[in-house]
Structure 1
Amino acid sequence: MKILVLGSAAGGGFPQWNCHCANCKGLRDGSIKATARTQSSIAVSQNGKDWVLINASPDIREQINQSPQLWPEEGSRGTNIRAAILTDSQIDHTTGLLTLREGLPLDVYCSDVVYEDLSTAFPLFNLLEHWHGGLSFNKIDTEQRAPFGVTGVEGIEFLPVIIESNAPPYSRYRDKVVDGNNIGLKIIDKSTGKYLFYLPGIVESTAEVERILSEASCVLIDGTLWLDDEMIAQGVGTKLGSEMGHMPVNGDYGTVALLNKFTIDRKILIHINNTNPILNEESPQHQFVLDNGVEIATDGMEITI
């Protein structure tokens, strides 16, 4: 199974257009060693030709243009993207659907809760219904939590995993614990049984999360903030990471500590905020992550399991 990291940053990307934190300023003026990143999204395929897009970032046009794997081999128009799966209804994971309008119709797999948000508070399904057939809703059942396949993509199975996070500010489920407002995905290569665990946003681990981590071949996990109060401390925000639905990378209850419990072939941080010091490749925080056997995702990273 092939995994392509299209974007590895959190909302706003890196550098963020209106941010002048040490990282963004440093990348622009060359005073730090760092790599620009677009907003998080991945694609997966078993045969390298039929791809499932997982989350559609605002940067999807640029990401597709940088990824020959997603280009059609023939025809005057077309794409190798067969469907999209949404793990939540956040702006930075869904706005890219607007950019994909020229290629509609498109099958979109998401939970009832996410579909409700995207039909009411942030009505992308409604906005696009007149574009070549629009978005076709395919329900991810977060009650039965059964594995599902995607039409047009062979050899891969997806299992939704309920995770602790938060719905976006415009959702009526904001600050409420509702199954389906955020999911992780266990992405299984049916020919080998090996799987990727995709968790771009998680605030707290659970027994189910740890059970799936224990046998994963690869994990792409929330690397948004180094510290819970990072955005407050840097003067660029007013909320803790945990309020926004993100576990910090550092600390006894952070992602590195969580990952250290398990032997996993590849442990990779994704959805990295522009303020996170791990983006500075010469920082002690960056080195700490690497010393713990954890990688830091970059745009264009290719993974095979």
Structure 2
Amino acid sequence: MRIKVLGAAAGGGVPQWNCTCANCLALRQNHPDIQSRTQSQLAVTADDATWFLINASPDLRQQLIDNSEIHPDPSKGLRNTPVAAIILTSADLDHVLGLLLMREFTPVRIYATRPVISILKKNSFFQMLDRLPGQSRWTEIEPNIPFDAGDGLTCTPIALSNSLPTYISEEDRASLDPTGATIGLILEGPQGARAAYLPALPSVSGSLKELLSTCSTIFIDGTFWSDDELQKIQPGTPLARSMGHLPISGPDGSVASLQALESTRKIYTHINNTNPILQEQSSERRAVEDAGWEVAWDGLEIAL
């Protein structure tokens, strides 16, 4: 199984178009100790031929262009793709807007939980995925029930939160069962190698920690360094935990909560543009690396 990080940033990317935080300024000034990153996107293959996308980033078009292994094959006709399916972990905009790029007359299978499918199908924008009869093939998945995605990849959804995206109306909230609104994924290849992908992690339970210990590699929510990271920059903005993101630092942050996973390769992804771990010489970056963590970058590839 090969896992490739096509994008490692949270919504907005790094630099964010309207931001003058220290990280965004450093990138615009070509500082050598920070890399630009596109919005969070993962690609997985179990046979080196067929690829599965985990979520659909707003930057998906450029990410597909930049990675030649996911290009169409001219020997297979005018319209084709090695992408067999997209697996959604939530209906958050930075996870689904890229779906609209898949409307170009090629069939696409979309795996998602019931609330995510309900939210997206209710929005007329996503009817553009059906420009041909049966073009979009929606497949419902459920937390804790493994499914065979095909071509050697098995996935198990992990229920993480029942919190719905903020853009959902009060009327729709009242009518939706939010169970499985945000999930993580256990990815398993044909030889049994396992990895976890949790780009939005609100908390770490004992059972989740035990499950993650069965994986050789985990990609974990690294959105914010501290709970009040945004408030320090702009008063009145929400706390990390209120947005469904467990911060990295602190006595109950993700570094402390997962420190027992000593034999597991631990990688932070979905990193906000304000997060100081993006600065390669920062004390925060040294702290996560000293604790045995890596910081994902666009193009990082793992072979299991």
TM-score by length of 1: 0.92
Choose the corresponding residue for 2:87, options 67, 82, 85.
Answer: 85
Q: Which is worse superposed, 110-119 or 130-139? A: 130-139
Q: Secondary structure at the match of 1:163?
A: strand
With over 3 angstroms needed to count, the CA separation of the structure-2 counterparts of 1:173 and 1:195, relative to structure 1, is farther
User: Could you tell me which residue of structure 2 aligns to residue 247 of structure 1?
Assistant: 246
Is 1:161 matched with 2:163?
Answer: no
| Alpha-carbon contact 2:6-2:42 (below 8 Å) kept | yes
Quick one: distance in 2 between partners of 1:165 and 1:112?
12
Query: Given residue 304 of structure 1, which amino acid in structure 2 is its aligned partner?
Result: A
User: Could you tell me which residue of structure 1 aligns to residue 114 of structure 2?
Assistant: 112
Quick one: distance in 1 between partners of 2:68 and 2:160?
33
| Alpha-carbon contact 1:278-1:286 (below 8 Å) kept | yes
Query: Given residue 92 of structure 1, which amino acid in structure 2 is its aligned partner?
Result: D
Quick one: distance in 1 between partners of 2:277 and 2:162?
22
With over 3 angstroms needed to count, the CA separation of the structure-2 counterparts of 1:26 and 1:80, relative to structure 1, is same
Alignment of 1:11-160 (within 5 A): 11-31=11-31, 33-73=33-73, 74-75=75-76, 76-120=78-122, 122-131=123-132, 133-142=134-143, 145-150=144-149, 153-160=150-157
Quick one: distance in 1 between partners of 2:84 and 2:194?
20
| Alpha-carbon contact 1:173-1:181 (below 8 Å) kept | no
Choose the corresponding residue for 1:170, options 167, 172, 187.
Answer: 167
- Structure 1 unmatched runs, 5+: none
Q: Secondary structure at the match of 2:62?
A: helix
RMSD: 1.9
Q: Secondary structure at the match of 2:195?
A: strand
User: Could you tell me which residue of structure 1 aligns to residue 231 of structure 2?
Assistant: 232
With over 3 angstroms needed to count, the CA separation of the structure-2 counterparts of 1:113 and 1:281, relative to structure 1, is same
| Alpha-carbon contact 2:100-2:126 (below 8 Å) kept | no
% identity of equivalent residues: 40
Q: Which is worse superposed, 99-108 or 164-173? A: 164-173
| Alpha-carbon contact 1:57-1:95 (below 8 Å) kept | yes
- Structure 2 unmatched runs, 5+: none
User: Could you tell me which residue of structure 2 aligns to residue 299 of structure 1?
Assistant: 298
Structure 1 or 2: larger helix share? 2
Q: Report Cα offsets for 1:119-153 as digits up to 9, x if no partner.
A: 22x444334323564421100023xx321012xx3
With over 3 angstroms needed to count, the CA separation of the structure-2 counterparts of 1:19 and 1:131, relative to structure 1, is farther
Q: Which is worse superposed, 177-186 or 196-205? A: 177-186
TM-score by length of 2: 0.92
Q: Secondary structure at the match of 1:125?
A: helix
With over 3 angstroms needed to count, the CA separation of the structure-2 counterparts of 1:103 and 1:233, relative to structure 1, is farther
With over 3 angstroms needed to count, the CA separation of the structure-2 counterparts of 1:173 and 1:280, relative to structure 1, is farther
Query: Given residue 154 of structure 2, which amino acid in structure 1 is its aligned partner?
Result: E
Quick one: distance in 1 between partners of 2:184 and 2:222?
14
User: Could you tell me which residue of structure 2 aligns to residue 212 of structure 1?
Assistant: 211
Quick one: distance in 2 between partners of 1:21 and 1:284?
17
Distance apart, 1:278 and its partner CA: 0.4
Runs of 4+ in structure 1 off by over 3 angstroms are 122-125, 131-134
Quick one: distance in 1 between partners of 2:286 and 2:211?
27
Quick one: distance in 1 between partners of 2:233 and 2:32?
17
Q: Which is worse superposed, 233-242 or 251-260? A: 233-242
| Alpha-carbon contact 1:165-1:246 (below 8 Å) kept | no
